[in-house]
Structure 1
């Protein structure tokens, strides 16, 4: 199996807000406010780089920040293939973190909305052993058409493709049936519990596996404090518990999990080892602020 992993997804600046208590409408609330690099695709790429994986990352950023981002990713072991957008700035995400670590998001995807087929040429697939696409790329018509074309070319070459739904809010907005239609036939799907339920309408883990397994080759469901599970149309095949850690910020935990699993899988590890490594990466992620390795 070829070892290079091609990741396609968003680049964002995460503005992380951690208020001391409930927001007071029309007045002040003390809070910690931090800026961090983010974006689901960028997070996955950087976590993969931290795991010494061979990772190529494709995204679109504001033209005036392209060189800065290229240097940033190279410094973290990621090969960047970034397009510079002259009409929209780089994306920004405001994350509001509750005291229990749960998050709410305000999203301006900026230049990510202009990802096009020109940004995804055929030669990107040379020497690639797996393609990973963030679900955010499916939520707007232009990027969706671009990544669907990439998926088709990858399948024609026999390169496995994986998708991460990324956002329950956007899944509900576009409709679960539409998302499944756009991504049907992917070899892998990495979904959290809420995303899995939104996609198939079932809350029971085994039923989620069976229903999603009708559309995707292997289903991996991230269960937070309950760990993670793997399966498909035959139901749950493997389930492992989570590590017990103090949660500081759950931003990017799912991205870290996916990176941990994929890096292990591409390296030839068994599903059990890959699932354990994904869980370990997710546990590491929640112990610090931001969606990328500290």
Structure 2
């Protein structure tokens, strides 16, 4: 199976050191949710193509080099002279990441008609995050998902700072879920994503079950941070895998890497959802022990699962 990962590639500016009240040192790390998932899939040994817009500027060349180094095929990536999109990362005392974005007029969000190709029914399309939400490119992404014959997975990966209006954000998500559900696709969100969208943190799994049924999804996956993950079927069945306790450095890329681990196993055997969830949890646990989004190899995940 060929995996096509569509979405943003950007630079995460991460704090390294406060030199003085007037000066700080930062590091520019390659990032973006779909970018991380494409990198993780390739490192797990999957045939992976990145479908994103890569700038010709210095940061864009860094992103291209990172993807190529991981073994990602860039034959359908779109070169552009738009400047590379930036995310400024803040980490709390538990290593959890929050983001503030600089994306007006930048590479990741300016999809134009004709830049998104037709995919085959044997392909698997994975997309999501802010590249599917932010105009002007979001309309092109929605049309692309609507017309594709490929299998589809959608990572909501909600970023409230990019669009603070819950109702507007959910309206865009709803259109995308409808498109994903036409072929019985898969959606994934964290419990925090769901709580923010509905302004209610009481029962994320209940909302996931309702959306799986409403939109015709084959399952809705809810990640629960250190407590693991649950796949909710539209008939109410729930498949749960516990988390793995690790020494967390930070959580950058954890959800993106989970999806790569999950899809790598699900593509081999879609009947064993529990095993696919367990592989996703293991991959995410490893990335949490590293600084930034540094996904594991298949051998590293296999060793943890023994």
TM-score band w.r.t. shorter chain: 0.7 to 0.9
Residue 48 of structure 1 deviates from its aligned partner by: 0.4
Residues 195-226 of structure 1 deviation map (CA, whole Å, 9 limit, x = unaligned): 12234455314312222212233100111011
Whole-Å separation in 1 of the counterparts to 2:218 and 2:88: 34
* 2:114 counterpart SS class: helix
In the alignment, does 2:115 pair up with 1:119?
yes
1: CA distance, partners of 2:21 / 2:279:
42
Deviates most, 168-177 or 257-266: 168-177
Q: CA deviation at 1:51?
A: 0.5
Distance 1:131 1:99, change over 3 A: same
From 174, 180, 184, the equivalent of 1:180 is 174
User: What does residue 33 of structure 1 align with?
Assistant: 26
1:152 is displaced (CA, Å) by 2.1
Of 109-118 and 31-40, deviating more is: 31-40
Q: Which moved more, 1:237-246 or 1:262-271?
A: 262-271
Per-residue CA distance 1:218-249 (angstroms, 9 max, x = gap) = 10011101100001333352011100001101
Q: Which moved more, 1:259-268 or 1:163-172?
A: 163-172
The residue that corresponds to 1:50 in the other structure is 43
Alignment partner of 1:78: what SS? coil
Q: Is 1:151 aligned to 2:145, yes or no?
A: yes
1:191 is displaced (CA, Å) by 0.4
Unaligned runs of 5+ in 2: 297-306
Match of 1:92 in 2: 86
Residue 17 of structure 1 aligns to a residue whose secondary structure is: strand
Give secondary structure in 2 for the equivalent of 1:190.
strand
* Contact 2:51-2:77 within 8 A present in 1 as well: yes
CA apart distance, 1:68 = 5.1
Shift of 1:62: 1.7
Structure 1 gap ranges (5+): 21-26
**Counterpart in the other structure of 1:268:** 269
Higher relative contact order (CA 8 A, sep 6+): 1
How many residues get paired? 280
**1: CA distance, partners of 2:65 / 2:77:** 11
Q: Give the alignment partner of residue 77 of structure 2, picking from 76, 82, 88.
A: 82
Q: Which position in structure 2 is the counterpart of 1:24?
A: none
Tell me, yes or no, if the aligned pair for 1:97 and 1:104 is still in contact at 8 Å. Answer: yes
- Whole-Å Cα distance in 1 between the matches of residues 57 and 17 of structure 2? 32
- Per the TM alignment, residue 19 of structure 1 is displaced from its structure 2 partner at its CA by 6.6
Inter-partner Cα distance in structure 2 for 1:19 and 1:237: 44
SS of aligned partner of 1:95: strand
Q: State TM-score, norm by structure 2.
A: 0.83
Greater alpha carbon shift after TM alignment, 238-247 vs 9-18: 9-18
| Alpha-carbon shift at residue 60 of structure 1 (Å) | 0.8
| Superposition deviation, residue 140 in structure 1 | 2.2
Query: What RMSD over aligned residues (CA atoms) do the two structures have, in Å?
Result: 2.4
Aligned to 2:280: 278
Cα distance in 1 between the residues matched to 2:155 and 2:138: 14
SS at 2:248 equivalent:
coil
Partner of 1:207, secondary structure, is helix
1:35-90 CA-to-partner distances (Å, cap 9, x unmatched) read 2111111100000011001111111122235555434322211111322222x211
Distance 1:196 1:221 in 2: 9
1:23 maps to what in 2? none
